[in-house]
Amino acid sequence: MSREFQRGHKARISDLTAGTDLYVGVQISAPGLTFDISCFGLDADERLSDDRYFVFFNQPKSPEESIQLLGAQAGDTESFRVTLDRIPAAIHKLSFTATIDGDGQMSRIAPGYLRIVAGGEEVARYSFTGAEFTTERAVMLGDLYLKDVWRFAAVGQGFDGGLEALLKNFGGEVAEEEPPAPAQPEAAAPSAAPGFAPPAFAVPGGPAAPAAPSAPQAFTPPPAPRPDVHGAPTLVEPFTPPTGTVPPPGPAPAAFGHPAPPSAPLPPGYGQPPAASAPPGYGQAPGQPPSAPAPPGYNSPPSHGGPPAAPMPPGYGQVPGQGGTPSYGVPQGAPQGAAGVGAALQKFKEAPTGQRWTQQNHKLIRVDLGAGGQPVLARQGSMVLYQGKVDFNYKGAGITGRLVGNATGQEMQLMRCTGQGQVFLADDSTHLHPVELQGDAICVSAENVLAFDESLQYEVRRIEGHGIPGGALFTMQFQGTGTLVVKTHGTPVVLPVTPTTFADCHAVVAWSAASQVIVSSQVRMRRNAYAGDTGESVNLQFRGAPGNFIVVQPYEV
């Protein structure tokens, strides 16, 4: 039985099927539009570090054939074969995308889907329509990603720009960025990509139709052949000055008393005066006529007692505007490469889109309210930036909730974020850690909660013991399916729970809900009255089966 996914929903592949040989089919169409459907094999940083794992119409498979493009069949516009147990360890995510070839908008597409088939049976389907998009020319449909185990996420995130912009977004290189080669009339148009015959693979829904894709436009047209400079005739400067109205340059004066060398020719434009005389005094000796040669040392360094030195590189020391070869280095007036404000701020640019929760850096996180279609509850005042149409409303806890929060110290001042847009969250420059829950539970102090999906259930949980100074006798327990953002002061450490695991009650941040927590007083309370008190009178002791954990920050609240 196929499981229906909505945008933002995720699941383990093992919960869908026990197999690792998957068929991924995409159905997308629109009147008058042609689509390019591709698969990006990304590393742990969600970058295309190896372009051999960019599988598209011009590169139909990865090196070890763990990802293969099968073509249109069984009602799908495009299909792939993915063998999870053959994917290299360096690949952590497979992002399936669709882009419009040419002009057009994703809002015009008809209802489509991305589906996963295993063992001849469809196990997952994510459906989408053009109403979910506007002016985008590309869309990230779904991801197969590795997080402990392989999982599937229905993304449905629109992206401005075509396939080239999407490739740049993932860190790939586009051939059009290279300097264009001179076009030649006799250069033949790039030939169509040869048909790719899909390997033997059981496709659901009937026999596989023969792949007959139309000849797609090549993604990277090969540049026109460069001119054969080695086969062209060599032009030799005549040994005698050219005749005409321009007088020949006079012999260069001897350097430091040495006789001038024989009248060997100089390279074209090297040391020669321009056709139009330069302004008086600009690179010329006072009173020197325009046709006089440059003074000693202007175009070549002094020889200091030896024969005249070899000429400097062409253009070295030329008068601005003089003909000949270009100046050595960056020409005057040319752009200075990638220098400037844009290059200096490049490393701070917004992280790639595609997920509901995206961490921009250690202290800033972005949530896409349009992905998943559910509101987000965040700490009041934690919004630092938002884009789109977003509403912020006060989230009250009610009279009972306020009484419980005040009595336990676990009151959360929250706001409800709804709408279509992206919200950037941060709080007091603390480190942020998104935690994805898939039916499991975690205990976190209310002080360390920044934001979470409204779909998560939360309640106050009491810690067993006789009491802890400062009211830290309770904590919050979150459970369900969604994401919880935990904030810490500094980088935390995660430790497994053992029978002898103790933590300071003011430094512990979170722990697995299955752990048993009790108050441990290692120092008698009356010792606090003496000057030799250690300040570590009350700790929390954790017990539990293997697999339980605690999170501790390098800071005491």
Asked if residue 74 belongs to a domain, the reply is: yes
Report CA torsion sign: 87, 13, 169, 167: positive
Q: Which two tokens stand for residue 536?
A: 């570590």
Asked if residue 242 belongs to a domain, the reply is: no
Asked if residue 474 belongs to a domain, the reply is: yes
The pLDDT, as a whole number, for residue 548 is 87
Whose CA is closest to 392, among 405, 406, 404, 381? 381
Whose CA is closest to 125, among 207, 202, 26, 17? 26
Asked if residue 299 belongs to a domain, the reply is: no
The C-alpha R_g of the chain, in whole angstroms, comes to: 35
The pLDDT, as a whole number, for residue 97 is 95
Residue 449 has what DSSP assignment? E
DSSP per residue over 301-337, as a string? ---TTSSPPPPPSTTTTPPTT--SSPPSSSPTT---T
Cα separation of 511 and 547, whole Å? 11
Report residue 464: phi and psi, to 5°.
Answer: -70, 140
Residue 526 has what DSSP assignment? G
Cα separation of 173 and 191, whole Å? 22
Cα separation of 474 and 409, whole Å? 7
Question: Is 509:455 a contact under the CB 8 Å cutoff?
Answer: no
Q: Is 183 exposed, middle or buried (0-12, 13-18, 19+ CB in 10 A)?
A: exposed
Strand pairing category for 78-83 and 67-69: antiparallel
Asked if residue 408 belongs to a domain, the reply is: yes
Last residue of a domain, one of 139, 170, 201: 170
The pLDDT, as a whole number, for residue 224 is 43
Asked if residue 515 belongs to a domain, the reply is: yes
Mean pLDDT by 10 residues, the chain (557 residues): 88 93 95 93 92 93 95 94 95 95 90 94 94 89 94 88 78 59 46 38 44 42 44 46 49 51 51 49 51 50 49 51 46 52 77 78 89 87 90 76 65 87 92 90 90 90 58 77 92 86 84 80 44 57 82 84
The pLDDT, as a whole number, for residue 123 is 95
* CATH label of the domain that carries residue 485: 3.60.160.10
Question: Is 234:104 a contact under the CB 8 Å cutoff?
Answer: no
Last residue of a domain, one of 170, 191, 214: 170
CA 430 to chain centre: 23
Q: How many domains does the chain have?
A: 2
The pLDDT, as a whole number, for residue 408 is 63
Asked if residue 193 belongs to a domain, the reply is: no
User: Residue for token digits 């007091």?
Assistant: 428
* CATH label of the domain that carries residue 17: 2.60.60.30
Last residue of a domain, one of 117, 142, 170: 170
Domain that holds residue 53: 3-170
Q: Is 337 exposed, middle or buried (0-12, 13-18, 19+ CB in 10 A)?
A: exposed
Asked if residue 189 belongs to a domain, the reply is: no
